[in-house]
Amino acid sequence: MTAMVDDIERELLQTVRQMRATRIAQVLDFARFLISVDPAPVNGEEQELSDWDIQVQQVDQEQRAYERQHKEILAQYRGRYVAMRHGKVIDHDIDRVALRRRIRKQYGNVPFFFTLVEDEPVQTFWMRSPHLVTDET
Amino acid sequence: MIQDYDRQRLPPLPVLDVWLAIPDSSDWHGPYTAMVDSGADLTIVPLAFLRQLNAPYLKRVTLRTQWSQRQSVGLYEVDVRLGDLVFPGLDVAGDIASSEILLDRNVLNRLDLRLEGPKLRTHILGE
């Protein structure tokens, strides 16, 4: 397992070195996000994923499928909310809450990827709330 | 509904008690103390709270700051309750680093809110 991880790390490094700086920043962002939803175990052993963690992984897969098809989906659903599963748009609506309720009613607690279809495949939000930190050293 | 500012903070901070539930469940968890903050586009909730709720995960988004820092975060769906007011199906960002809720504009813009700074208290006047 360690050897495989070493191989992947080496390949990742080689791949990143071929990228533009902006792409490298995106890879770093995504790596940090993966750590946030699935942190590495402290003792080095693989932990069993909870159902919640597995759902997060499944939705992430759907999001990657969305990003790959973004151009086509944008052409068809711009400004609408879509629900995706198995790489396909299952339903859409202009009302976010109505779409989610309809999907939950029909499919139950099955992981879906929900998004508003916009020009950028990954939605960006702004946060302008810095905290003043006192140096206590 | 009237609530005192948190006077332990300097300067004192407007806060509100909130309850969270997974969508349409009415299985409310709380109260949690939320900071009233209008600086972010959407409300931010510690990931530990969302994990405890089993809140549905929606997607990965990017949070940007005014200093051009970017952070990928997960977006989750919860129902939010303040007193008698219920806001169903809200998108909130999961925060791995903090244990504080920031109540932001996707909630605040739906509230008739008054900050009575000199008396250090917040009034919720309605929706």
Helix (H) or strand (E) holding A127, with range, is strand A124-127
Contacts of B91 (CB under 8 A, 6+ apart): B42, B58, B75, B76, B77, B106
Residues A4 and A31 in one domain: yes
Residues of B in contact with A32 (CB under 8 A): 71-72
Residues A2 and A30 in one domain: yes
CB contact under 8 A, B73 and A33: yes
**Does a structural domain hold residue A56?**
yes
- 């129902």: which residue's tokens? B79
**Does a structural domain hold residue A62?**
yes
CB contact under 8 A, B72 and A32: yes
Mean pLDDT of A114-127: 93
Percent of chain A exceeding pLDDT 70 equals 85
Type of residue numbered B125:
L
Residues A63 and A113 in one domain: yes
Mean pLDDT of A2-27: 74
Q: Which of A36, A101, A104 sits opposite B96 (nearest CB)?
A: A36
Residue A22 structural domain: 1-42
Q: What is the ipTM of this complex?
A: 0.82
Which pTM value belongs to this model? Answer: 0.78
Q: Provide DSSP, B85-111.
A: EEEEEEEEEEESS-S-EEE-HHHHTTS
Is residue A1 predicted with pLDDT exceeding 50?
no
Q: Which burial class, exposed, middle or buried, applies to A7 when counting CB atoms under 10 A from its CB (0-12, 13-18, 19+)?
A: exposed
CB contact under 8 A, A25 and B70: yes
**Does a structural domain hold residue A25?**
yes
CB contact under 8 A, A36 and B72: yes
**Does a structural domain hold residue A131?**
no
A73 vs B127, more confident: A73
Q: Which of B64, B9, B76, B7 is nearest to B39 (CA)?
A: B64
Residues A67 and A109 in one domain: yes
Residues A67 and A83 in one domain: yes
**Does a structural domain hold residue A137?**
no
**Does a structural domain hold residue A58?**
yes
Domain B2-126, CATH class in plain words: mainly beta
Q: Which of A93-97, A99-103, A126-130, B21-25 has the lowest mean pLDDT?
A: A126-130
Residues A58 and A10 in one domain: no
Q: Which of B91, B112, B125, B107 is nearest to B36 (CA)?
A: B107
**Does a structural domain hold residue A136?**
no
Contacts of A24 (CB under 8 A, 6+ apart): A16
Residues A74 and A112 in one domain: yes
Q: For chain A, give the mean pLDDT.
A: 85
Confidence of residue A42 (pLDDT cuts 50, 70, 90): low
Structural domains counted in chain A = 2
Residues A81 and A105 in one domain: yes
The whole-number pLDDT of residue A18 equals 80
Query: So where are chain B's domains?
Result: 2-126
Phi-psi region of A79 (alpha: psi -120 to 50; beta: other; left: phi over 0): left
CB contact under 8 A, A115 and B58: yes
Residues A110 and A56 in one domain: yes
Q: For chain B, give the mean pLDDT.
A: 93
Confidence of residue A43 (pLDDT cuts 50, 70, 90): low
Is residue A137 predicted with pLDDT exceeding 50?
no
A114 in contact with B, Cβ within 8 Å:
yes
Residues of A in contact with B96 (CB under 8 A): 36
